[in-house]
Amino acid sequence: MSYTDLDFMQAALQQAELALALGEVPVGAVVVHQGQIIGRGHNQPIHRHDPSAHAEMLAIRQAAQHLGNYRLPECELFITLEPCLMCSGVILQSRIARVVYALPEPKTGAAGSVCNPYLEPRLNHHTQIEHGAGGEQAKQLLQAFFAQKRQTSIPVPPLQIAGLANFRDLGGIKTTAGKTIRSRMLFRSDQLAGLQDQQAFAALAIRTIWDFRTSAEIARDPDPQWPAVQYHTADVLAQSQLQSALSLNALLADPSQLNLHLGQGRAALLMADIYREMVRNTHAQEVMRQWLHSLCSPAQYPVLWHCTAGKDRTGWATVLLLTILGVPHERILRDYLASNALVLHKYQALIAQGVASGVEAELFNALLGVDAHYLKAALHEVKKISGTLPRYIEHVLGLSPQQQAQIRSYLLD
């Protein structure tokens, strides 16, 4: 395989991580046309109530919409697991030229493991099939999924509040010490202006809300007010030149300009810069310092924190807190990546409209989603400043070991 193939397989593996974060079998796929990814997908049959919502099916559908054609003869499909018979049928129907898969599937694989319709001489199209690199990573994701299934005998449905697309309770997450975050104590969310079920939200008995948005975002979509709730507004990047890049409304106001300014991978580079800025900007550090220090008081709980989409500023704040609580990095990453499917689903109509007007689909994925590379950019900046994230929390954000232990005593069982 060439370097380009490896790069595309890594993109498919990132999609598989999204499936794992949703509790789906971790399989991911991307469709490539002329060296560009035009379709992405990860397993979602459970969440979509759709037995056909396999990773490659979703990626192929997105690619076909992008090209405006049900035939994809110049496209390649990269998938982390050997396709099944259903998906192989669609691959052949769409006339995909080449398929590269990372890991064989001995029970349902239809590219040679169980059967191989690609070798049927009577068909009028024959897709080239290759078993490529990435198998070890794909295997590790599958092992993590089934290990999680064995540990959870009775699945607990996620808490959902109507009108909040990226809302979740962090309760139930396990730490490296074998403890569990208490339920109904820590909530992360997107903006609350869309809240529809006031009664369900009030039943959470939230005492404190931290709003990490800009003053312009707050003025446009203010939080509902509850008398018993203490509010804190703390603009994370108030003193950063990158502040405007966090405004979804501003970015999407003129889709025709998006390709010009943020196309060809520039959107992903911008997002990585924002994450670095949240680490090194002294004002952003002060906001995180105030928020984490407030959690040393039991009167703050239950607490909710949010921004606009609940993915970047809220995501970084959550990474810091879960690190203090002793959650392993793999589980922190799963929570971080869980925002992807939730936020992208919320903006599905907007994305379709933008793509129809000529905006790169990849640009929307970069701006409206999250990516493991964004978090890696933040952690690399942490390494430059402090060496490790625990040292950054203690020495830059000023949270002593005693204060961190105090927070753990409130939140862990």
User: For residue 279, is pLDDT > 90?
Assistant: yes
- The confidence band for 250, taking pLDDT boundaries of 50, 70 and 90, is low
Q: Are strands 230-233 and 208-211 parallel, antiparallel or unpaired?
A: parallel
Distance from C-alpha of 263 to C-alpha of 362, rounded to nearest angstrom: 8
CATH 3.90.190.10 assigned to domain 168-411? The reply is yes
Mean predicted confidence (pLDDT) in 164-168: 94
Of 381, 411, 235, 396, the C-alpha closest to 307 is 235
What pLDDT sits at residue 142? 75
User: For residue 371, is pLDDT > 60?
Assistant: yes
Of 222, 223, 272, 220, the C-alpha closest to 245 is 272
Mean predicted confidence (pLDDT) in 140-165: 68
CATH 3.40.140.10 assigned to domain 3-151? The reply is yes
Counting residues of the chain whose pLDDT is more than 90, the rounded percentage is: 63
User: For residue 141, is pLDDT > 70?
Assistant: yes
Q: Are strands 168-169 and 186-189 parallel, antiparallel or unpaired?
A: antiparallel
What pLDDT sits at residue 153? 40
Token pair of 211 as six digits: 């709003």
Q: How buried is residue 73: exposed, middle or buried, by Cβ count under 10 Å (0-12/13-18/19+)? A: exposed
Q: Which of 5-19, 70-84, 250-264, 296-310 has the lowest mean pLDDT?
A: 250-264
Q: 3-state class of 174 per DSSP? A: strand
Contact in structure between 95 and 72 (CB atoms under 8 Å)? yes
User: For residue 106, is pLDDT > 80?
Assistant: yes
User: For residue 161, is pLDDT > 60?
Assistant: yes
Distance from C-alpha of 129 to C-alpha of 79, rounded to nearest angstrom: 11
User: For residue 366, is pLDDT > 90?
Assistant: no
Distance from C-alpha of 48 to C-alpha of 87, rounded to nearest angstrom: 17
Residues 6+ apart with CB under 8 A from 98: 76, 77, 127, 128, 129, 130
Counting residues of the chain whose pLDDT is more than 70, the rounded percentage is: 90
Mean predicted confidence (pLDDT) in 292-305: 96
Mean predicted confidence (pLDDT) in 172-194: 95
Of 1-10, 25-34, 289-298, highest mean pLDDT: 289-298
User: For residue 408, is pLDDT > 90?
Assistant: yes
User: For residue 388, is pLDDT > 50?
Assistant: yes
- List the catalytic residue out of 56, 277, 360, 381: 56
Of residues 255 and 386, the one with the higher pLDDT is 386
- The confidence band for 238, taking pLDDT boundaries of 50, 70 and 90, is confident
> Does the annotation list 84 as a binding residue?
yes
Mean pLDDT estimate for the chain: 88
- With residue 319 as reference, give the H or E element that holds it: helix 313-324
Instruction: Output the CA torsion sign for 188, 194, 197, 198.
Output: positive
Q: Which of 125-134, 337-346, 378-387 has the lowest mean pLDDT?
A: 337-346
Helices (H), 236-312: 248-252, 258-262, 266-280, 282-294
Distance from C-alpha of 190 to C-alpha of 307, rounded to nearest angstrom: 6
- Strand order through the sheet with 303-306: 168-169, 186-189, 303-306, 208-211, 230-233
Residues 6+ apart with CB under 8 A from 410: 185, 295, 298, 301
Q: Which one-letter DSSP state was computed for residue 192?
A: G
Distance from C-alpha of 126 to C-alpha of 123, rounded to nearest angstrom: 7
The answer to whether 360 is a known catalytic residue is no
Distance from C-alpha of 1 to C-alpha of 128, rounded to nearest angstrom: 14
Domain ranges for the chain, please list them.
3-151, 168-411
Distance from C-alpha of 112 to C-alpha of 125, rounded to nearest angstrom: 17
Q: Are strands 75-81 and 28-33 parallel, antiparallel or unpaired?
A: antiparallel
Mean predicted confidence (pLDDT) in 376-399: 97
User: For residue 68, is pLDDT > 80?
Assistant: yes
User: For residue 184, is pLDDT > 50?
Assistant: yes
The region, left, alpha or beta by phi > 0 then psi within -120 to 50, assigned to residue 398 is left
Mean predicted confidence (pLDDT) in 74-101: 95
Mean predicted confidence (pLDDT) in 35-58: 90
Q: Which one-letter DSSP state was computed for residue 395?
A: I
User: For residue 365, is pLDDT > 50?
Assistant: yes
The region, left, alpha or beta by phi > 0 then psi within -120 to 50, assigned to residue 319 is alpha
User: How far from 29 is each of 42, 100, 214, CA to CA, in Å?
Assistant: 6, 10, 36
User: For residue 374, is pLDDT > 60?
Assistant: yes
Residue 384 CB neighbours (<10 A):
11
What pLDDT sits at residue 156? 45
Mean predicted confidence (pLDDT) in 369-384: 92
Cα radius of gyration (the chain): 22
Distance from C-alpha of 203 to C-alpha of 208, rounded to nearest angstrom: 14
What pLDDT sits at residue 352? 74
Contact in structure between 375 and 336 (CB atoms under 8 Å)? yes
What pLDDT sits at residue 53? 92
CA distance from start to end of the chain: 48
Domains 3-151 and 168-411 share a fold: no
Distance from C-alpha of 327 to C-alpha of 278, rounded to nearest angstrom: 21
Distance from C-alpha of 149 to C-alpha of 152, rounded to nearest angstrom: 5
User: For residue 255, is pLDDT > 70?
Assistant: no
What pLDDT sits at residue 253? 63
Residue 57 CB neighbours (<10 A):
22
What pLDDT sits at residue 152? 47
User: For residue 342, is pLDDT > 70?
Assistant: yes
> Does the annotation list 307 as a binding residue?
no
